[in-house]
Amino acid sequence: MSETTIFSIYSEKDEEIRQILKEVYDALKEKGYNPINQIVGYILSEDPTYITTHQGARNKIRKLDRDDILQSLLKNYLA
Q: What CA–CA distance (Å, rounded) separates 47 from 62? A: 10
Q: What is the pLDDT of residue 79?
A: 83
* Domain segments of the chain as ranges: 11-78
Phi-psi domain of 9 (left: phi exceeds 0; alpha: psi -120 through 50; beta: other): alpha
Q: What CA–CA distance (Å, rounded) separates 56 from 63? A: 11
What is the pLDDT tens value at each position of the chain, 79 positions in all? 667 766 565 678 999 999 999 999 999 999 999 999 999 999 999 999 999 999 999 999 999 999 999 999 999 899 8
Q: What is the pLDDT of residue 6?
A: 61
Q: What is the pTM of this model?
A: 0.84
